[in-house]
Amino acid sequence: MDKVNQDEVNHPAHYTAGGVECIDAIAAATVGLDGIEAVCTANVIKYLWRWKMKGGLTDLEKAKWYLEKLIKEIIKGKKSER
């Protein structure tokens, strides 16, 4: 699909590459997660999914930020379980 005919709202190329919609992959990957765990996991996937076609290094840095946030939340949760 060329840029003129591309649907930037419903099916942007940076979320549909490879024949799988990013939102569908996120839905599958976050089953059983709630709250901040679901949000961080979803954002890591989103930014890794699109980095090459949209945000480049900035998207990789955003994915890293959300992954580090998720790790901190998991560690904080383990400490509160003690």
pLDDT digits (tens, 9 = 90+) for 24-60: 999 999 999 999 999 999 999 999 999 999 999 999 9
Q: Which residue has the higher pLDDT, 72 or 16?
A: 72
Please say whether the beta carbons of 40 and 71 come within 8 A.
no
Please say whether the beta carbons of 26 and 15 come within 8 A.
no
For residue 57, the one-letter residue type is: L
pTM (whole model) above 0.85? no
Report how far residue 1's alpha carbon sits from residue 65's, in angstroms, rounded to the nearest whole number: 32
Quick one: 67 exposed, middle or buried, by C-beta within 10 A (0-12, 13-18, 19+)? middle
